[in-house]
Amino acid sequence: MAKEEASTTLTSESYLYLHPVESPAVAFVSPVLDSTNYHSWSKSMLTALSAKNKSQFVNGSAKTPEKENSLFNAWQRCNDMVVSWIIHSVSSNIRQNIFWMENAEDIWNDLKARFFQGDMLRI
């Protein structure tokens, strides 16, 4: 293994580790987010992301490394996986509004800004 590759080898304890069987085309939680269930959906998503050691991508603690950083590609893959999980866990109407967003934290914050208050009024 080359020296550069060795420095980016990740263990399963790292939030940048993706298990080989992870799939981006999965609805992570059920039911999917619609305009009426933000609080239960976000709680379910956070639990699922935490179980996968990926909640850092939506809570702001997984900062984007510089492109020159040896961990950038691993960060990008994980961010893309979380983005895909979120996209597949929202209704088709909501999906259209977030589909072109590339950062999981930005998507998470956008969904919270749009649906948090409305769902609280229903509760």
- pTM for this one? 0.87
Summarize the confidence of residues 50-60 as an average pLDDT: 97
Q: Distance between CA atoms of 62 and 37, rounded to whole angstroms? A: 26
Domain ranges of the chain: 25-122
Contact 58, 19 (CB under 8 A): no
Per-residue pLDDT tens over the stretch 1-51: 333 343 457 899 999 999 998 999 888 899 999 989 999 999 999 999 999
